[in-house]
Every structure is written in structure tokens, then in C-alpha cells.
A and B are shown apart, each in its own frame.
Chain A
Amino acid sequence: MASVDDLLRALHRQAAALRPSAQPDRRLQAHLDGWVPLADHARRVLEALDARPEDHDLYRLLRTVARRAVPAQRRPDPGVARVALITGALSDVILSSPAVVGAASQAQRSRLQASVQAALYATATSTLDVARGAPPDPAVRTINKIADETELAARIPPRARASTLERLTVTRLTPDTADGAVQLWAGVVERVFSNPQLVTGVALQDAAATLAVVSHVAAETLREAAHRRIIDPDQARHAADLAGEASTRWRAVATWPSEIQRGGRAYEHHDAVRAVRDALTGPPLARLPLRQRVRTLRVVLTTAAPIGERQAETVATLASRGGLWIAHERPNLRPPGVQRRHVKLDWETMDAFHPAGRLLASQANAAQQALVAAADAINQAVLPEASRGSDSRIALVDDHITVGRWETIDPAPRARPTECDRRPAARPGLDVRP
């Protein structure tokens, strides 16, 4: 499982590593060749995040670079090629989730764009560094303009660039991984719970019980992570407490009184929840290192939240529309002198807004709110934020490229160099330190 956050970290590490020191053997052509796929991938991801991609100078520049012909026998600079590869993976993740991206606010999309642009900026400055002293090349002018276009984004502190879209993940959709199993379950829930012919009482109880299992495992893992200081202990303990509360509440939702039921078959849902519970209580989760377990459970809990919402909605709908059955005693089946417990009961449709139905619905609603709070808390605890102070220059903090604050910029910057002789390190406040 890789998340956008993982890919961004790798991207920033790689982009920053391009220019820690001068490497005379780097050739400009190899750098420029590496830019061809990089520009293409970067434009794809930036445009996907942009509500109006057609009128942006940066995209035009990236298209120009991407159109550059590269002879097959030439090998691009391996560092730039790796930046391109990671950017390509990032664009694949973003493009494969149009619904999530579309639902994100413009602010969240802009933040992720800024993170991508920060990596482009670091790569561009590296290429310009290599270009210093090399024969003039028109492509360098374009790279120079790309550096200009992306510089502002690179100067935004990483904390301000943190986007909820960093939670997007590439999940292997198989039941033998915890996150894959829960993703598959989410799909089954959409199909089963939206169809009155398919949804059953056991399926609704099963969903609630499995959400209780998910929340419980998340709570225990977060407590362990806090104890071992894998993530911020205070945030981890807070998230663990909320996940624990969600588990308790979902367990109560799963506990239907035996006098209430809704029959039918839901084999597909039965198989899906079983796969989730097996994954969470067996090797698919247990074999992961603690840090990876925490990250996996963040995805699991985040994916589980819409499942809880669907469960709560379905219970409320059934309870308010006579979709549940309640046991009742047939008066003529209880002769005088026979104890009540020995009398067979019958089933009748539960009236809309019956107190027992209302109780089920309100319990599910409360459990869902607890689950959402737990999912938010684990996202806050696990998602990195480069909040450790600030340096006066560009640095790699928490694997994110960061640039010094405006007020710390060198007050006497040099005149802007030409594209052939400019030295990126001479820019105010620029010094990528791995």
C-alpha cells in the first residue's frame, strides 16, 4: 500500500537529493532528457488537480519540455528519471480517484499542487545548476521559467501545503490484505445495503460487529504506537480513545435484541466481512511492522467510515418504513396456567417509529459519529506535518522540501543570472539540504 503522502515524501527526498553538492559528471543533456517524462507526468497530476487547467503558463511550459525529442540510445540522468517515475506514480493515483479529487475543496487541491511544484522547483534548480558552464541550450530557458513558476509554491511551508488528498492510497484490492479487504467490503456494502431485497438483519449486525473489530484493532495498535513513540504519543492516545469508544458503540449496534429481526440472505456481505475480520486478526496485519500497521489501519478506519454511514442510514430507513420485524405473543396461544416462556411467539412488521427501531437507529447514528471522530483523529495522528520550527533556508524537513520564511530571505540577493550561467544556490534562501 502506498499513499500520496508516501509518494510525496519519496518525491521530495529524491528531488532534494539531486543537488546536495556539485557533481561534475552530471551532464546537462541527461538532465534534460530526464525532464521529458517528468514534465509530462507533472502536467498530468497538476492538471488533474486544477479546476481550470487550460489557462496556466506552467502547463504550457511543461508541455514544451515533454515534447522534446530524446534519442533512444541516450540515457536520462538516473536521479531525474526517478523523480519522473515517482511523479508518474503520483499522477496515476490522483487520476485513478477522480471522485475523491473532485470532492476535495480547491484549497486542498491547491496544497497538493504546491507540493508537486516544490519538487519541480528543486529539480529545476538542480538542472540549472548543471547547466552552469554548459553550452547554451534553448531547453534551459524553459526550465528556468519552470523554476520561476514553481518558486512561490516551494516557499510555502510544508505544513501549509499539507492536503487531505495525501491520504489517498494505492490499495491492492485483494482480501488477503487488511486495507484491500476493507476496500472490497466497502464495495459490497454499497451494493447490498442499497438494495432492500438484499439487506438482512444479520448483514447489518455483521457490519456493526466488524466495525467494532476494526475500531478495536485500531485502538490497540494506536496505543502500542504511542507507547513506542512511533507517532506523536498524545495524538495517538487521543485517537486510540476515540477508536475505543467507536468500538464500544458499534458493538452495541451489533447487539440486536433477539425479538427484532430482518430475514433474507446476504452471502456476498457475509464473505466480505469475514475476510476483513480474518485480515485484521491474522497474518495480513500481524506480519506488518508497527509503523506500517498504523498506516494500514489509518486507511482501514478511513475506508470504514462510509461503511458505518451506510449502515446507520440503512437501519434508520428500515426502522422508519416498517422494514424490521418484531416478535409478539399470540394471545390465543397462551392458555391459562402456561408460563410465558413456554409460549411460541410470532413475528409481525415493526411499526414505523417503533421505540425499538428508533433505539437501533439512534445507536447506529451515535456509533457512526464516534467512528468519524476516530477516523479524523487517526488521520491527524498519522499524517505527517513538517511543523518542527523553521530554517532560514530550504531544507528537507520530515521528508518534505521546505524553504525559509520570507522574513529570513537574504536581504541582498544577486542580480538574476541568465539561463546559461545562473546559479540556483544564489537565489535568496535556497539551499536544499538532504
Chain B
Amino acid sequence: MISDDDLDEASAQVFSEALGHIRNATAVLLGDEDQSFETLLLGAAALDLQGLFGDLWPAHIDEERTAAGSLAEAERILDQVIDDVPLAIWAALRSLHQRVSDGQR
């Protein structure tokens, strides 16, 4: 878990943007047209991932991407502050990205 208090302003902004992309991925997965059980579980896992960001305020990212695209963007952004990213977030994000990419969502 991370807290707003543990980050400087620049890092907090990066985390907020990453969280914004993860929120977009969550909405895509849960709103998936095929309504499969697999995407429901992936959406739930994305909510779990959001929970790891604690009380960090998310940025709203007004972009239309696939879930995999949004998660890739989140990874790319977090890579800028790699030393500040808790391992649990990396592990959960990478795992989710991999599972989503396998299904090409």
C-alpha cells in the first residue's frame, strides 16, 4: 500500500496518472461486451490493484484505450518512479497486464 504522505508531489502525480489508467482498464474489463466470467474476474483483480494505491487521489484520464493498453500505459508511467513503486503494485500490475494481454483485451 502507498500513501499520499509518503510521496513527493512529482511522484504523487505519476502514481495518480498510473491509477487513472488502471481505473480506465477496470471500467473496460467490467464493461466488457462479452460479459464473460473471465473478464469479470479480471475486473475484480483490477479493483484489487486499485486498492493497493490506498488513499491516493487518481487522475482522470480521458482517453479511450483497451484494457491492455491502459495497463501498459500505467506500467510505462510507473517506470519513471520505479524506486518508489511498492513491489506488491508491480507484481499485481504485471500479473494483471499479462492475463489481460493473453486475452487481448
Query: Do these two chains interact?
Result: yes
When the two chains form their complex, are residues B51 and A213 in contact, meaning their CB atoms are under 8 A apart? no
A-facing residues in B45-72 (Cβ within 8 Å): 47-48, 50-51, 54-63
B60 CB contact (under 8 Å) in A256, A263, A273, A347 = A347
B1 within 8 A of A: yes
Q: Which residues of A contact B50 (CB under 8 A)?
A: 202
**Looking across the interface, which residue of chain B has its beta carbon closest to that of A343?**
B62
- The docked-state distance in angstroms from the alpha carbon of A256 to that of B58 is 14
B41 CB contact (under 8 Å) in A206, A256, A257, A281 = A281
A263 CB contact (under 8 Å) in B41, B43, B57 = B57
B7 within 8 A of A: no
When the two chains form their complex, are residues B40 and A205 in contact, meaning their CB atoms are under 8 A apart? no
A202 CB contact (under 8 Å) in B40, B47, B59 = B47
Q: Which residues of A contact B37 (CB under 8 A)?
A: 213, 216
Instruction: Return A214 CB to nearest CB of chain B, in Å.
Output: 11
A267 CB contact (under 8 Å) in B1, B26, B35 = B1
Instruction: Return B20 CB to nearest CB of chain A, in Å.
Output: 7
A251 within 8 A of B: yes
When the two chains form their complex, are residues B44 and A341 in contact, meaning their CB atoms are under 8 A apart? no
Q: Which residues of A contact B24 (CB under 8 A)?
A: 258
Q: Which residues of B contact A267 (CB under 8 A)?
A: 1, 51
When the two chains form their complex, are residues A259 and B51 in contact, meaning their CB atoms are under 8 A apart? no
**Looking across the interface, which residue of chain B has its beta carbon closest to that of A212?**
B40
B97 within 8 A of A: no
When the two chains form their complex, are residues A209 and B44 in contact, meaning their CB atoms are under 8 A apart? yes
B-facing residues in A84-107 (Cβ within 8 Å): none
Known: A255-B30, A258-B24, A274-B48. A213 touches B58 (CB 8 A): no
When the two chains form their complex, are residues B40 and A251 in contact, meaning their CB atoms are under 8 A apart? yes
Q: Which residues of A contact B63 (CB under 8 A)?
A: 341
When the two chains form their complex, are residues B51 and A266 in contact, meaning their CB atoms are under 8 A apart? yes
Instruction: Return A403 CB to nearest CB of chain B, in Å.
Output: 47
When the two chains form their complex, are residues A270 and B27 in contact, meaning their CB atoms are under 8 A apart? no
When the two chains form their complex, are residues A254 and B54 in contact, meaning their CB atoms are under 8 A apart? no
When the two chains form their complex, are residues B43 and A209 in contact, meaning their CB atoms are under 8 A apart? yes
When the two chains form their complex, are residues B40 and A263 in contact, meaning their CB atoms are under 8 A apart? no
Encode A53-94 as 1/0 by CB contact (under 8 A) with B.
000000000000000000000000000000000000000000
Give the A-binding residues of B (Cβ under 8 A).
1, 20, 23-24, 26-27, 30-31, 35, 37, 40-41, 43-44, 47-48, 50-51, 54-63
Q: List 6 A-B pairs, Cβ < 8 Å.
A: A254-B43, A258-B23, A258-B26, A261-B23, A265-B55, A343-B62
Give the B-binding residues of A (Cβ under 8 A).
202, 205-206, 209-210, 212-213, 216, 247-248, 251-252, 254-259, 261, 263-267, 270, 273-274, 277, 281, 327, 340-341, 343-347
Q: Known pairs A206-B51, A209-B43. 8 more at Cβ < 8 A?
A: A213-B44, A216-B37, A251-B40, A267-B1, A277-B41, A277-B44, A345-B59, A346-B60
